[in-house]
Amino acid sequence: MISNLLVIRFSALGDIAMTVPVVASLCRQYPSMQVTMLTNKLGAKIYNAVLDGQPNLKVRGIDVKRDYKGVNGLNRLYHELKAEGYDAVADLHNVLRTKWLNFRFLLNRTPKAQIDKGRADKKALVDHRISQQLKSSIERYQDVFEQLGMPVTLDFTPTPLSGPVALAGKVNIGIAPTAQHRGKIYPKEQMLQVIDGLLAQCPDLHIYLFGGPEEQAELDQWTERCPERIHDTAGRQTIADDLRMMSVLNCMVTMDSANMHMASLVGCRVVSIWGATDVKAGFYGYRQNPDDIVALPLDCRPCSIYGNKPCRYGDYHCMSDIEPQSIIDRVLRK
């Protein structure tokens, strides 16, 4: 019987967000079990905002690259974790760092289970040897707990965060125009056309731009197109603030990015734009409507699981050929 469970997922932020529905369901379905979520510091902020008050969940956010660097750092982390007396380890990451921690726990005869990322199937998908929908990351997380003898039925309901949020318009749309890799980014000039079109077609609409501190200067320039109706939040809000604002927006427009998953956790409708990547790889937002996916049916896509491969044609036409009006119509549901 497992009474003290360690769950690990260090990165990336979108993947951490996708663990939330599973861990939340796990905690509710096994109330006598203490669960510790070990993640990075930004991931911990998502957990603390969305699952605040879950009595049997403890969240620990660390900087594994700085504070626990190298083998010596990981060994020090292991000894800290060992002292907390875990009965089992659920590895939702399965990378070199977590493999080493798993190895140390196994030497101590602590049961562990780790995620099967389905790399062979994902490679077959981008090589176009298969075309079917693959198992989602959320389902793969469920499989880890199944291995430990704790099947989890998803019962997490996305719920808006409470707290005051002052929005300026009768219709309020969020736009998160950035992503980690170029193959997942809609071209700037076309996204500006989307913004202009939304403002022109809906006089009561206001737009809120989301991004990290590194995007603040760029997005500030975007607001100059219509300062009274375009608002840049990048670098000005905490993750909890972002989630609270997403809770009351009419819609978020995102790439295949962490913002899609964050908005999904608080029940915000997301219109997501897909280029080099594809929802078939299993990374779609939790309980989002497939009708809100914007993507072109090209023979060359998907060409990448993470969007990090250079375009074989050099022009990323999987993104650039998407007409701005098609995104506007999807947001306004025309």
The predicted-structure confidence for 249-277, as pLDDT tens digits, reads as follows 999 999 999 999 999 999 999 999 999 99
The SS3 of residue 134 is coil
Same fold for the domain at 4-147 and the one at 171-332?
yes
Say yes or no to pLDDT of 334 above 70: no
- Determine the Cα–Cα distance for residues 207 and 201; give it in Å rounded to an integer: 13
CA atoms within 13 Å, Cβ hemisphere of 332: 17
Where does the chain have alpha helices with state H?
A: 13-29, 41-50, 70-82, 96-107, 119-126, 137-147, 188-201, 216-223, 239-248, 258-265, 317-320, 324-332
Structural contact between residues 330 and 306, judged by C-beta atoms closer than 8 angstroms: no
For 81-140, write each residue's pLDDT tens digit.
Answer: 999 999 999 999 999 999 999 999 999 999 999 999 999 999 999 999 999 999 999 999
Q: Is the dihedral of CA 270, 275, 277, 281 positive or negative?
A: positive
Give the domain ranges of the chain: 4-147, 171-332
Q: Amino acid identity, residue 214?
A: E
Cα separation of 26 and 30, whole Å?
6
The pLDDT of residue 1: 82
pTM here is 0.96
Model pLDDT for residues 137-151, shown as the tens digit of each residue: 999 999 999 999 999
Q: What is the pLDDT of residue 53?
A: 92
pLDDT confidence band for 28 (50 / 70 / 90): very high
Class in CATH terms, 171-332:
alpha beta
Which architecture does CATH list for 4-147? 3-Layer(aba) Sandwich (3.40)
Tell me the helix, strand and coil percentages in the chain, rounded to 5. 40, 15, 45
**Alpha-carbon span 173 to 113, nearest angstrom:** 41
pLDDT tens for each residue of 61-87 = 999 999 999 999 999 999 999 999 999
